[in-house]
Amino acid sequence: MDELIAKVKDILAKEFADATVELEQAHPAKKLAGSLVWSGFEGMEQIERQDCLWKTLGKGLAKDEQLQITLILTLTPRELAVSKET
């Protein structure tokens, strides 16, 4: 799982400049989960963000690797700050 985490972080760092990527193994599913915080998501609907994310992952990951990802939240820095306040 560590290799997949490193690979996904690398792919996302190249596509989403200055983004913060947090990934971990989700228990008990043993799948990858995390968040992608990027200022470029500002003004985008969640569906657009997820489309962007999955198109990027689709270019760099094999199908079996993609199936190991359960959830990656897509947030702006402002949204992350607000979520931490509550």
Task: State pTM to two decimals.
Answer: 0.92
Domain ranges, ordered by start, for the chain? 8-34+61-73
Q: Looking at residue 29, what is its pLDDT?
A: 76
- Closest by CA to 19, choosing from 30, 27, 8, is 8
pLDDT tens digits for range 42-69: 999 999 999 999 999 999 999 999 999 9
Q: Which pLDDT value is given to residue 3?
A: 95
pLDDT of residue 26: 87
Q: What is the pLDDT of residue 85?
A: 81
With beta carbons less than 8 A apart as the criterion, state whether 24 and 60 touch: no
**What pLDDT is attached to residue 70?**
94
